[in-house]
Chains A and B, each alone.
Chain A
Amino acid sequence: MNGPVLAPGSRRGAELMQAAVRGRSLWQDARRRLMRNRAAVAGMTVLAALVLLALIGPMLLPFRYDEINKADVWAPPLTAGHFLGADALGRDLLARQLMGLRVSLAIGFVATFVSLVIGVAWGAVAGFVGGAVDEVMMRVVDVLYSLPFIFFVILLMVTFGSNIILIFVAIGAVEWLTMSRIVRGQTLALKQKEFVEAARAAGLTPGAIIARHIVPNLLGPVVVYVTLTIPAVILSESFLSFLGLGVQPPMASLGTLIAGGAQDMELAWWLLVFPSLTMVGTLMCFNFIGDGLRDAIDPKDR
């Protein structure tokens, strides 16, 4: 050790000792790495703005999303008070788009939450209990994995009619499979750790160990996967809406707006272009955040 030797009793020595002891946690490290990733920070900023717009934007506009104005039919952008123009019924595109963004984001968050709950519970139990239980539970996942899921969602929508709650459930129920696989893999690794053994030795029940020791330690990979699931869910919903099976008019989602815009694109390009840009922008934000989080949390790829 170079430099002046400090007497242990001196004030400066004590300060240095404290500074040396105060380490950075893994999460602080991860946050620092995330904040250095410009694409991820940009993604988070834009996404926060979009969420805010979707929440309060509709209240600030002079038009309601389902308000029909006969005089403004096919109004181009920046005319008759419509920033982004109006559609075949004279409905304000900006108002509809903000509403559509709200619906799409809501579906993205809620359905992902559904898949998160099912996936984490399923994967953690399978991984922790192991043995025959694990075998059966993962076989179920394998079987569901090889189903043409889109057919089942379409059949579901056709069978029970397209209401928004069902869209949440249907998409969430098929998105949990990958989550459960990731969680199971992590759980298998965590199970070998000393602190789990300690918990078991202390007499905790398996349920308590899963809830208090396994699940909190799964957070990293799960958070990353969640940020990548949300855009996938938004895409699935838009896809259903595009086929006419998702959100029903006059309600709008980004998918229904794009579908409508595609039909009228030769007459009114703005009806296709603006919702498409919003959709692409939203998806990009999530993907940038997801990639940034993965680089930040998973030190393997650094």
Chain B
Amino acid sequence: MLRFIGRRLFVALPTLFLVVTVAFFMMRAAPGSPFDIDRKLSPEIERNVLARYGMDRPLGQQYLSYVGDVLHGDFGPSLKYKDKTVLQILQENYKVSLILGLSAISIAAGIGVTLGVLAALRQNGWVDYGVMGVAIIGVCIPTFVIAPLLVLLFGSILQWLPNGGWNGGAIGNLILPVTVLALPQVAIISRLTRAGMIEVLQSNYVRTARAKGLPARTIVMKHALRAAILPLVSYLGPACAGLLTGSLVVEKIFNLPGLGKFFVISALQRDYTVVMGMVIFYATLILFLNLVADLIYALLDPRVRLS
């Protein structure tokens, strides 16, 4: 098991390094600089500002010192938000994104697995068609379509829920964004679960369990489900990436103070250090979750470990 983890880390660390490198040089290749304002700075001032942030040195040297700083846990100051470091910005804003993402994925997993199992048990019945219909709708209606429509309906017309804002994470403010984020995931998870379950239910060991006379509930919950959710585990990584994409949109539509909104703005403003900090943060998160998914997979399915 330790060797398995070691092998995975061996892939993950170079990946992270590659992400940092590519993002660094891409960001610097972009035209414009964080110090562009309406009025052109005089050359002397510009030189001073650049020197202040060490940006007067050759790019390669800047890259090396940046990587060195990051390895020491120093992500540098923000270039746009004066007297804030990148770490402070991350700390102040990650909670909103995290709460949104975690509640969305756990709700989606709960509902999706339940729906998928029900559909598989009643294959080709009306429950099955209903669930698959919902799944198709969930896949085909993009986040940025469903979100404004829900705001229009529940916010503006019915006035049951607030149109947006964070309000300290009040439940009312959370319902719409979390629903919007969870919906496509429910669709995908229920499809995956259904497909996995149908396949497993036809397998020999389930037939054996039935022949032994085990109650249907035990067969489904204890024997079949464990194998049927395997594809779901490997979906964990992509799911997280999907949530991330969704949160960029959701945070914009519902005007939430999360990281996603920061990323686009910072990239447009050429706030190099903030963008880099976020890329590193998200890449680490995704790599970590992929690692966790691999580990759970290996725990559930011994064949992976052996090969």
Q: Contact residues of A with B, CB < 8 Å?
A: 139, 142-143, 146-152, 154-156, 158-161, 231, 235, 238-239, 242-245, 255, 258-259, 261-262, 265-266, 269, 272-273, 276, 279-280, 283-284, 287-288
Across the interface, do A147 and B15 meet the contact criterion of CB distance under 8 Å? yes
Residue of A nearest to B238 (CB): A145
The smallest C-beta distance from A149 to any residue of chain B, in angstroms, reads 7
Across the interface, do B267 and A262 meet the contact criterion of CB distance under 8 Å? no
Across the interface, do A261 and B140 meet the contact criterion of CB distance under 8 Å? no
Question: From DSSP, what is the main secondary structure of chain A's interface residues?
Answer: helix
How far does the alpha carbon of A261 sit from the alpha carbon of B263 in the complex, in Å? Answer: 23
Q: Which of the segments B54-62, B103-111, B174-182, B243-251 contacts the partner chain?
A: B243-251
Q: Binary interface profile of B, 79-121, with partner A (CB < 8 Å = 1, else 0)? A: 0000000000000000000000000000000000000000000
Across the interface, do B148 and A147 meet the contact criterion of CB distance under 8 Å? no
How big is chain B's contact interface, by range?
Answer: 35 or more
Across the interface, do A287 and B136 meet the contact criterion of CB distance under 8 Å? yes
The smallest C-beta distance from B288 to any residue of chain A, in angstroms, reads 10
Across the interface, do A280 and B145 meet the contact criterion of CB distance under 8 Å? yes
With beta carbons under 8 angstroms apart, the residue of A158, A238, A280 that contacts B30 is A158
How far does the alpha carbon of A160 sit from the alpha carbon of B268 in the complex, in Å? Answer: 12
Number of A-B contacts (CB under 8 A): 115
Across the interface, do A152 and B22 meet the contact criterion of CB distance under 8 Å? yes
Across the interface, do A147 and B144 meet the contact criterion of CB distance under 8 Å? no
How far does the alpha carbon of A284 sit from the alpha carbon of B204 in the complex, in Å? Answer: 36
Task: Taking A148-B241, A151-B23 as given, write out 14 further A-B residue pairs in contact, using a Cβ cutoff of 8 Å, ordered by the A residue number.
Answer: A150-B244, A152-B23, A152-B26, A154-B263, A155-B27, A244-B264, A255-B144, A262-B147, A266-B152, A266-B156, A276-B149, A283-B141, A284-B136, A287-B140
B12 within 8 A of partner (CB): yes
Report if A148-B282 is in contact (Cβ < 8 Å); known contacts: A142-B11, A243-B264: yes
B130 within 8 A of partner (CB): no
How far does the alpha carbon of A142 sit from the alpha carbon of B12 in the complex, in Å? Answer: 10
Report if A154-B264 is in contact (Cβ < 8 Å); known contacts: A142-B11, A146-B287: yes
Residue of B nearest to A263 (CB): B148
How far does the alpha carbon of A231 sit from the alpha carbon of B278 in the complex, in Å? Answer: 28
Q: Contact residues of B with A, CB < 8 Å?
A: 11-12, 14-15, 18-19, 22-23, 26-27, 29-31, 136, 139-142, 144-145, 147-149, 151-152, 156, 237, 241, 244-245, 248-249, 252-253, 263-264, 267-268, 275, 278-279, 282-283, 286-287, 290
Residue of B nearest to A273 (CB): B149
The smallest C-beta distance from A37 to any residue of chain B, in angstroms, reads 14
Across the interface, do A146 and B267 meet the contact criterion of CB distance under 8 Å? no
Q: Could you jot down 26 A-B contacts, CB within 8 Å?
A: A142-B11, A143-B14, A146-B12, A146-B287, A147-B15, A147-B286, A148-B19, A148-B241, A148-B279, A148-B282, A150-B244, A151-B278, A151-B279, A155-B26, A155-B267, A155-B279, A159-B31, A235-B142, A239-B144, A239-B249, A242-B249, A243-B248, A262-B148, A273-B149, A280-B142, A284-B140
Residue of B nearest to A284 (CB): B140
Across the interface, do A155 and B287 meet the contact criterion of CB distance under 8 Å? no
Across the interface, do A238 and B144 meet the contact criterion of CB distance under 8 Å? yes
Q: Report, nearest first, the 10 A-B pairs whose CB atoms are least far apart.
A: A262-B148, A159-B30, A283-B140, A276-B145, A242-B144, A158-B267, A284-B140, A143-B15, A148-B282, A150-B245
With beta carbons under 8 angstroms apart, the residue of A139, A148, A255, A269 that contacts B11 is A139
How far does the alpha carbon of A265 sit from the alpha carbon of B146 in the complex, in Å? Answer: 13
